[in-house]
Structure 1
């Protein structure tokens, strides 16, 4: 039988840190999903798409850009936008003068729905993430998150601090 340390496995301390982060993220996203689904009938991933369209210039984005900023595969975005389109929340258009791709465009109904969902999302974040933390813990979590994000996606913080489509809910 082989021991974990022969595989350069995580130390108990490393595993504790990662598990705390990973399990917390899973629990938080489950709470956000439940709250959004129960109160506005919208999965969190669809809220994310609508929110990004709401924030984008002209409330529209190329499908490829939408996939990129949501860290999704093109097929997954195509499916999600198709469902949002059937619900009347988004429409697809060919960009004027450029037939190489499609735009996802937020409809009036989509704007109403995302604005209905936004306070639910904010309340859920406050209740499940921010509420249990002290001001000092929030500052620490911000530094930790920004440090890891800067390592994984250089430039992401600059994007997120702007007023563009990269700003996540």
Structure 2
């Protein structure tokens, strides 16, 4: 078996910077959401995915897939959000094993109040430090990494 090649010095510096930047951005967004709403970034993403879904509902399996989240972790988060009154579970009308996560009116209202501050936090953390061209390049690089890990070419 051939040993995999490690990184050149330049690649290693880029890798360490990427890891550090990604960690700092995640921490900044987590801190913003925790301080302003008492929720995690993962919970915020659940709310936004449900808000964008038709009828503000998604099957639990589909939601887990788009969030790249194990079902047990998603179930825990949905239970917490349901306890806050922002999400509810509904049985699928024809599939006894199928469950939907549904964003409640209270959850949508909460999300819409929170969104402007979150957008500012994203802008301050990621957009503002970059030029328009750098931000566009970040998007291209992210898309390429995303497609690679999902096994898609284009």
Q: Does 1:92 align with 2:86?
A: no
User: How big is the alpha-carbon RMSD for the aligned residues of Structure 1 and Structure 2?
Assistant: 1.7
- Cα distance in structure 2, aligned partners of 1:68 and 1:106: 18
5 Å matches for 1:95-114? Answer: 95-114=92-111
5 Å matches for 1:1-169? Answer: 8-154=5-151
Structure 1 position 47, deviation (Å): 0.5
Question: What TM-score results when the alignment is normalised by the length of structure 1?
Answer: 0.83
CA deviation vs aligned residue, 1:47-72 (integer Å, no higher than 9, x gap): 00000000011111111111111111
Structure 1 position 11, deviation (Å): 2.4
- Cα distance in structure 1, aligned partners of 2:51 and 2:137: 30
Structure 1 position 118, deviation (Å): 1.3
Question: What TM-score results when the alignment is normalised by the length of structure 2?
Answer: 0.90
Aligned length: 151
Unmatched tracts of structure 1, length 5 or more:
1-5, 158-169
CA deviation vs aligned residue, 1:96-134 (integer Å, no higher than 9, x gap): 111122110111111111112211211001111100111
Q: Is the 8 A contact 1:47 1:117 kept in 2?
A: no
Secondary structure (helix, strand or coil) at the match of 1:92 reads strand
- Cα distance in structure 2, aligned partners of 1:139 and 1:93: 40
Secondary structure (helix, strand or coil) at the match of 2:58 reads strand
Structure 1 position 153, deviation (Å): 2.3
